[in-house]
């Protein structure tokens, strides 16, 4: 953000929940844009007053427009100047003051109007990003059950102390990190680690805040307070990284930093030396004209116009880009880190293979498995049920926590469960192969005899391999970051064509690895879950998968792919690269105008009126050029992406 908006200033940073609730939720609620609209109406009124030959009213409306527009950036510019910070807002303020001293109030008002628009557009995008932390905090349950002195009581998570014993019932979220003392269950830890299927957990296993308990009742010994648990660490990482991004200067400010002192020094030198060698009034006036000539009028409006056009076009491609900084970063990315679950994969596990013992048909194995899983809510159950057209539920089904299911199918006792609880026997080689291919294997018994094994896997998106290939053809370095186990991650990475794989990562591990990748090249992180939020914030650019993603990922990211089609990713990169080129063209033209006008104003070749006219013509030109960023051109090679070849799994059921 620029000095105008004061992003990163202690005076303007939202503090706490109350400040967040007052942030603009809608485009028209941004105060800078409201002020710009009022200033615009006043300028139009001044134009009509001039046409009606009412100079007094015209001047009054122009002064009012100047005051309203300047309110959006002059106060914060002065505050930051007091701290020794300068930016494009500093030069805009100086130019406006110079125009007023020369009697060109209308020109000063127009400068303020244009700059307030650019400030409003940036503030809107930043406000959307700051709201992301609310979704993170909503994962913490409002209360927790704790056993103290043999008595169970309900307390707020903030009241939990290290050493307390939490009682976590089926379906409840875990309030803070801890270690299981008693009980076994299948934990949904997707919010923390990104595991695609629930993880079996029992005594001695570590559990994390925000995880959802499965079927068993757990007693968990608290190991961290609510202020220092997994989710709290995620929040701190996101806050720190968003602050880093907010304080980073935008394109116009990077240019203004050396330009502002140079122009100010030049004006003082012109006025001083000119006054010694000639008429002081003439040279002071020329110095003021030089200041107006150096005002980055075209620069102030051209970049926001390009951003609005490009962002609008991106939305038609199914890509939500949150402002100019995000668009510029998207066009400059050279490395892409991809999450696995929900990004490269569908996040919908399915049956990929059925192995049977000799003499047992595959359909029988699936029928028994489906009968036992008929009333289960486990993701593996849904995958098995989807593979069987008609299911007759088993009788007397009971869950063995952390192991599997027992029941009666057709009057015969049957079991379904993990390897180890049921011996793999002659299918041991098949089970090992399934696991090496990235699948979860369950074994099925009937009358105490092993009949088969079912492999369930979260399948790759059909376009994933072609997207990765397209990214590599475009010159991007691609890596996979995931919380899943190494075997699953390696198998799927091999299938999709990714060589750089990092598995079994916690959220802070992902953030650390992304920071390392950023040290090598500008890196974007693509993810869809809460566990991806720190990495999304740490990356030069965070990209969320929208339809499958959590609110946290979408709010924390700078860019969101609003559909499930990953082919929009290389399309978005291509669109942003083109928009960035247009943006740089406009910046170059704007600087060229400033550099060309200054000597002409210095030697009196152009007076104030001519300088103002050139600025206005330049503004029209760069606006027209910026509008070109609104054109889109889908990538033909991506649009026609074929499905990747599946991993060879004997007897696969698709």
Cβ(508)–Cβ(534) under 8 Å? Answer: yes
pLDDT at 377: 65
Looking at per-residue confidence, does 158 or 122 come out higher?
158
DSSP string, 101-155: HTT-HHHHHHHHHHHHHHHHHHHHHHHHHHTHHHHHHTTS-S-EEEEETTEEEEE
Cβ(32)–Cβ(123) under 8 Å? Answer: yes
Q: Assign 186 to helix, strand or coil.
A: strand
Question: Which range among 98-102, 235-239, 248-252 has the greatest average pLDDT?
Answer: 98-102
The CA distances from residue 111 to 1, 101, 213, 583, in Å, are 18, 14, 58, 20
pLDDT tens-digit readout, 263-285: 778 888 888 888 888 888 788 87
pLDDT at 503: 87
pLDDT at 235: 65
pLDDT band, very low/low/confident/very high, at 359 (cuts 50, 70, 90): very high
pLDDT at 153: 93
pLDDT at 597: 86
| Exposed e or buried b per residue across 283-317, where buried means at least 16 C-beta atoms within 10 angstroms of its C-beta | bbbbbbbbbbbbbbbbbbbbbbbbbbbbbebbeeb
pLDDT tens-digit readout, 28-77: 777 888 888 899 899 899 989 888 888 889 999 999 999 998 898 888 88
Spatial separation of the C-alpha atoms in residues 464 and 210, rounded to whole Å: 29
Cβ(481)–Cβ(338) under 8 Å? Answer: yes
Element (H, E) at 620: helix 608-627
Average pLDDT of 327-341? Answer: 90
Scanning the structure block, which residue is given the tokens 């079994």?
504
Q: Which of 4-13, 162-171, 173-182 has the lowest mean pLDDT?
A: 4-13
Q: Assign 545 to helix, strand or coil.
A: strand
In the chain, % of residues over pLDDT 90: 27
> In the numeric block, which tokens belong to residue 541?
């650019």
> In the numeric block, which tokens belong to residue 154?
């309900």
Q: Which of 72-86, 144-158, 240-254 has the lowest mean pLDDT?
A: 240-254
pLDDT at 647: 36
- Residue 301, sorted as left (phi over 0), alpha (psi -120 to 50) or beta, turns out to be alpha
Q: Assign 525 to helix, strand or coil.
A: strand
Spatial separation of the C-alpha atoms in residues 374 and 362, rounded to whole Å: 18
pLDDT at 276: 85
pLDDT band, very low/low/confident/very high, at 3 (cuts 50, 70, 90): very low
Question: Which range among 53-57, 400-404, 413-417, 560-564 has the greatest average pLDDT?
Answer: 413-417
pLDDT at 550: 52
β-strands 178-182, 345-356: how paired?
Answer: unpaired
Q: Would you give the end-to-end CA distance of the chain in angstroms?
A: 50
Cβ(499)–Cβ(521) under 8 Å? Answer: no
Concerning whether 339 is annotated as a catalytic residue, the answer is: yes
Average pLDDT of 458-482? Answer: 91
Q: Does the pLDDT value for residue 405 go beyond 80? A: yes
Scanning the structure block, which residue is given the tokens 């100010």?
264
Per annotation, catalytic residue among 3, 188, 253, 339: 339
Q: Assign 219 to helix, strand or coil.
A: strand
Average pLDDT of 433-459? Answer: 89
Q: Does the pLDDT value for residue 10 go beyond 50? A: no
CA 69 to chain CA mean position, Å: 31
Average pLDDT of 344-367? Answer: 90
Q: Does the pLDDT value for residue 252 go beyond 70? A: no
- The CA angle 532-16-550, to the nearest 5 degrees, is 25
Q: Does the pLDDT value for residue 441 go beyond 90? A: no
DSSP string, 291-356: HHHT--HHHHHHHHHHHHHHHHHHHHTTEEE-SHHHHHHHHH--EEEEEIIIIIEEEEEEEEEEEE
Mean pLDDT of the chain: 79
Spatial separation of the C-alpha atoms in residues 602 and 607, rounded to whole Å: 9
**Max CA distance (Å), the chain:** 112
Q: Which of 51-55, 115-119, 123-127, 425-429 has the lowest mean pLDDT?
A: 123-127
pLDDT band, very low/low/confident/very high, at 343 (cuts 50, 70, 90): confident
- Residue 86, sorted as left (phi over 0), alpha (psi -120 to 50) or beta, turns out to be beta
Q: Which stretches within 171-323 are classed as H helix?
A: 230-247, 251-277, 280-293, 297-316
pLDDT band, very low/low/confident/very high, at 530 (cuts 50, 70, 90): low
pLDDT tens-digit readout, 616-651: 678 778 878 887 887 776 544 444 334 333 333 333
Within the chain, how many helices (H) and strands (E) appear? Answer: 23, 21
Cβ(615)–Cβ(298) under 8 Å? Answer: yes
Spatial separation of the C-alpha atoms in residues 554 and 572, rounded to whole Å: 16
pLDDT at 237: 57
Spatial separation of the C-alpha atoms in residues 207 and 175, rounded to whole Å: 10
Looking at per-residue confidence, does 288 or 369 come out higher?
369
Average pLDDT of 520-547? Answer: 83
pLDDT at 558: 80
């Amino acid at each position: 953000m620029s000095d105008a908006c004061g992003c990163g200033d202690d005076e303007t940073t939202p503090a706490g929940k109350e400040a967040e609730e007052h942030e603009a939720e809608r485009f028209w609620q941004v105060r800078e844009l409201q002020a710009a609209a009022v200033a615009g109406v006043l300028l139009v009124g001044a134009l009509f007053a001039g046409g009606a030959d009412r100079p007094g009213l015209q001047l009054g409306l122009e002064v009012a427009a100047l005051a309203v527009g300047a309110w959006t950036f002059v106060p914060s510019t002065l505050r930051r100047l007091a701290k020794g910070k300068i930016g494009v807002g500093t030069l805009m303020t100086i130019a406006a003051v110079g125009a007023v001293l020369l009697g060109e109030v209308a020109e000063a008002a127009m400068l303020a109007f244009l700059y307030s628009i650019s400030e409003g557009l940036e503030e809107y995008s930043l406000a959307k990003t700051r709201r992301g932390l609310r979704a993170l905090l909503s994962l913490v349950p409002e209360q927790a059950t704790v056993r103290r002195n043999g008595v169970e009581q309900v307390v707020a998570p903030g009241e939990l102390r290290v050493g307390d014993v939490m009682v976590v019932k089926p379906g409840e979220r875990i309030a803070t990190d801890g270690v299981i003392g008693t009980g076994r269950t299948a934990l949904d830890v997707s919010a923390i680690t990104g595991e695609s299927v629930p993880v079996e957990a029992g005594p001695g296993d570590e559990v994390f805040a925000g995880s959802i308990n499965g079927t068993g009742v757990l007693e968990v010994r608290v190991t961290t307070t609510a202020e220092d648990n997994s989710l709290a660490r995620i929040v701190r990482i996101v806050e720190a990284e968003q602050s880093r991004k907010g304080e980073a200067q935008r394109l116009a400010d990077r240019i203004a930093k050396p330009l502002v002192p140079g122009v100010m020094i030049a004006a003082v030198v012109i006025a001083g030396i000119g006054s010694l060698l000639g008429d002081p009034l003439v040279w002071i006036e020329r110095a003021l004209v030089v200041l107006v000539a150096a005002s980055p009028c075209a620069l102030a409006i051209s970049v926001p116009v390009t951003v609005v056009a490009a962002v609008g076009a991106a939305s038609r491609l199914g890509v939500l880009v949150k402002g100019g900084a995000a668009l510029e970063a998207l066009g400059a990315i050279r490395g892409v880190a991809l999450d696995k679950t929900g990004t490269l994969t569908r996040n919908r596990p399915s049956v990929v293979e059925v192995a049977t013992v000799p003499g047992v048909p595959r359909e029988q194995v699936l029928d028994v498995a489906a009968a036992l899983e008929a009333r289960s809510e486990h993701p593996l159950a849904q995958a098995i049920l989807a593979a069987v057209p008609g299911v007759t539920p088993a009788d007397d089904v009971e869950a063995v926590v952390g192991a599997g299911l027992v029941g009666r199918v057709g009057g015969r006792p049957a079991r379904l469960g993990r390897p180890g609880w049921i011996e793999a026997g002659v299918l041991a080689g098949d089970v090992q192969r399934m696991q090496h291919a990235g699948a979860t294997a369950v074994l099925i018994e009937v009358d105490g005899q092993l009949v088969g094994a079912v492999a369930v896997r979260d399948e790759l998106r059909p376009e994933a391999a072609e997207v990765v290939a397209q990214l590599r053809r475009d010159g991007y370095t691609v890596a996979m970051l995931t919380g899943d186990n190494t075997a699953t991650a390696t198998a799927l990475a091999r299938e999709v064509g990714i060589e750089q794989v990092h598995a079994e990562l916690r959220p802070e591990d992902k953030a650390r690895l992304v920071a390392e990748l950023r040290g090598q090249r500008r890196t974007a992180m693509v993810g869809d879950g809460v566990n991806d939020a720190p990495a999304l914030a740490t990356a030069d650019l965070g990209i969320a998968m929208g339809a499958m993603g959590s609110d946290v990922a979408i709010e924390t990211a700078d860019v969101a792919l609003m559909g499930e089609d990953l082919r929009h990713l290389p399309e978005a990169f291509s669109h942003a690269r083109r928009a960035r080129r247009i943006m740089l063209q406009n910046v170059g033209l704007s600087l060229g105008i400033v550099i060309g006008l200054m000597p002409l104003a210095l030697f009196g070749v152009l007076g104030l009126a001519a300088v103002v006219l050139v600025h206005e013509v330049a503004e029209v030109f760069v606006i027209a050029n910026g509008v070109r960023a609104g054109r889109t051109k889908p990538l033909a090679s991506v649009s026609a992406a074929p499905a990747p070849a599946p991993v060879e799994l004997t007897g696969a059921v698709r």
